[in-house]
């Protein structure tokens, strides 16, 4: 437990936000939001520890938190789905015990916000993982990124026409998406390198007629048919990483 406490960090902007909230008379509201954010992240932390993954850091922002985990990309999809949804589930549990109307309102708003499929929100992670069940990793990653960009555009338009402007949140989401898209090639390369270097507990076996490494799916062991014989996926990956 002591080790987890040292992983918590508060973004410097959060202190500035609380200072402004105090000056503007919204300190109580900000405290409610911050408490909900902490409880949300605790939901993620509990499931992360349940599956014995290592936590790198937990960063708290004025409107949300980001928990970074040290785990393979080829981890179990079902475990990752539970981790991604556990923050929202913790908030649902919290709503059963809290009766303050303002607190319940913020709790609901943060839940709804988190299910939007925009990077780095839980909604995007859940959509990406559901796509991983049916599509190759590269395709599910790209499609979830496209959906994230479309959702962000809609979210920005909504904020422009809405009386409650959340330009700070929009700026944060734009910045995060840009960073994520820049790292997309790295993630894809890491996904293939993990498959080449390690063996994972695959749940399915799939044969492919084309020698196309981009067809690799999470939780699925692939064989490729070539000249009436089947090549293990590591054989195909070896040709790439031995070049």
The pLDDT tens digits of the residues spanning 221-233 come to 999 888 888 888 8
Sorted by where each begins, the domain ranges of the chain are: 1-114, 196-241
Q: Which of 43, 39, 210 is nearest to 136 (CA)?
A: 210
pLDDT at 2: 54
Q: Which of 199, 239, 233 is nearest to 216 (CA)?
A: 233
Query: What's the pTM?
Result: 0.89
Residues 77 and 51: their CA atoms lie apart, in Å, by 12
For residue 156, give every residue at least 6 positions away whose Cβ sits within 8 Å of its Cβ, in sequence order, or none: 170
pLDDT at 168: 80
% of the chain beyond a pLDDT of 90? 56
The pLDDT tens digits of the residues spanning 13-70 come to 888 878 888 888 888 888 888 999 999 999 999 999 999 999 999 998 877 888 999 9
Q: Tokens 């959906």 belong to which residue?
A: 147
């Amino acid at each position: 437990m002591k080790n987890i406490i040292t992983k918590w960090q508060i973004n410097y902007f959060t202190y500035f936000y609380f200072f402004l909230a105090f000056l503007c008379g919204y300190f109580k509201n900000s405290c409610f939001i911050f408490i909900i954010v902490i409880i949300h992240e605790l939901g993620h932390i509990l499931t992360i520890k349940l599956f014995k993954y290592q936590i790198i850091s937990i960063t708290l922002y004025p409107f949300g938190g980001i928990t970074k985990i040290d785990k393979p990309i080829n981890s179990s999809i079902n475990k990752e789905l539970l981790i991604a949804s556990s923050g929202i589930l913790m908030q649902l549990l919290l709503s059963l015990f809290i009766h303050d109307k303002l607190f319940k309102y913020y709790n609901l708003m943060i839940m709804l916000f988190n299910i939007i499929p925009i990077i780095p929100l839980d909604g995007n992670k859940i959509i990406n993982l559901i796509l991983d069940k049916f599509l190759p990793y590269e395709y599910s990653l790209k499609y979830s990124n496209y959906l994230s960009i479309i959702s962000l555009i809609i979210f920005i338009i909504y904020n422009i026409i809405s009386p409650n402007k959340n330009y700070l949140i929009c700026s944060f989401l734009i910045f995060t998406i840009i960073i994520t898209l820049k790292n997309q090639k790295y993630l894809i390369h890491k996904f293939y390198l993990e498959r080449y270097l390690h063996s994972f507990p695959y749940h399915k076996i799939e044969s492919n007629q084309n020698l196309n490494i981009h067809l690799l799916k999470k939780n699925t062991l692939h064989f490729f048919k070539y000249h009436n014989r089947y090549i293990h996926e590591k054989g195909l990956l070896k040709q790439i990483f031995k070049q």
